[in-house]
Amino acid sequence: MNRRDFLSKSIVAAAASYYGVNSLTAATNSTSLTTTAAKAKNRIGIQLYSVNKILPADFTGTLKKLADIGYANAEAYGYDGAFIGKSLKETATALKDVGMKLSGTHCGSGLLPTDTSTKEWDYWRKGADEMKAAGGRHLVQSWLPAKTLDELKRLAEQFNKIGEICKKGGVKFGYHNHNAEFKDMDGEIILDFLVKNTDPKLVFFQMDLGHTVNGGGNILEYMSKYPHRFLSWHASDFKRGQGYCEVGKGDVPYTELFKIAKSYGLEDLTVEQETEGDIIASCKWDFDYLINFDWTKK
């Protein structure tokens, strides 16, 4: 606009109109940018198993939907040398393209208590090397192959060895519980046994909060009993007598947990949603609930 082309009165009117409209536009853009920046500056991740029914058919589109919700990083699943036909580095690139990062992966290892072959260790060496190259932080064993106490003892020994392999590879090794780990196995509670018989310098634990409630575990008691061992939390939820639900709608004590998250040393928070229905809407609910806690913000 060339204001010298207008008469004095027109200049005043035009100027008022111009600055009014552009102030509104600037304010709108500022709000949009602020909202985007607020979402970007958070520590909330999502386990991609949450969207396993739609991810393979629309890999990029599904990641974009999660990024648009505000998730900062994602954890892969079922790693068997690849993830849905992609290397970990390719997965990390796809996440980067939508504004997210790869945090780690759950592993599809054939690990068994009697399997100590070179091939088994090579699986973990390869995984550690690929995760490091992809910029991720951890590999997580996400199922329990032990069925007896003797097998559980050997499993704890294997976890320590895997932890050494991962440490040498520049990433961390962890174990993710389900609800069965709160059962008694020959006089030992499975999860407690694994925590007590693994080296904290080599093995961390990823507590699935909803599974813990479902299994009868007391989350806050575990945090108190084993400080700095459950460095990763899977944000899920479970309502006793009803089943799994969206985060904040069940019996997981999120308010109390986030009061201790910083002092406890929580490093990673990853949503895992396993409800039926509109999974993207549920993942959005989870994010919008969790972003209200101070720890989740960078």
- Per-residue model confidence as pLDDT tens for the chain (298 residues): 433 333 233 323 333 333 333 433 333 333 333 344 445 589 999 999 999 999 999 999 999 999 999 999 999 999 999 999 999 999 999 999 999 999 999 996 666 666 677 777 888 999 999 999 999 999 999 999 899 999 999 999 999 999 999 999 999 999 999 999 999 999 999 999 999 999 999 999 999 999 999 999 999 999 999 999 999 999 999 999 999 999 999 999 999 999 999 999 999 999 999 899 999 999 999 999 999 999 999 7
What string of H, E and C letters represents the secondary structure of the chain? CCHHHCCHHHHHHHHHHHHHHHHHHHHHHHHHHHHHHHHHCECEEEEHHHHCCCCCCCHHHHHHHHHHHCCCEEEEEEECCCECCECHHHHHHHHHHCCCEEEEEEECCCCCCCCCCHHHHHHHHHHHHHHHHHCCCEEEECCCCCCCHHHHHHHHHHHHHHHHHHHHHCCEEEEECCCHHHCEECCEEHHHHHHHCCCCCCEEEEEEHHHHHHHCCCHHHHHHHCCCCCCEEEECEEECCCEEECCCCCCCCHHHHHHHHHHHCCCEEEECCCCCCCHHHHHHHHHHHHCCCHHHEC
> Do 166 and 158 form a contact (C-beta atoms < 8 A)?
no
* Euclidean distance between CA atoms 74 and 274, whole angstroms: 16
Phi, psi angle pair for 35, to nearest 5°: -60, -45
Task: Count other C-beta atoms under 10 Å from residue 194's C-beta.
Answer: 23
Amino acid at 228: H
Nearest to 147 by CA among 117, 187, 190, 196: 190
- Greatest CA separation found in the chain? 94
Task: Please check whether residue 275 is in contact with residue 244, taking contact to mean a CB–CB distance below 8 angstroms.
Answer: yes
Contact, 178 vs 144, CB < 8 A?
Answer: yes
pTM: 0.86
**Could you give the C-alpha distances from 266 to 40, 49, 230, 257, 259, in angstroms and in order?**
19, 22, 7, 10, 11
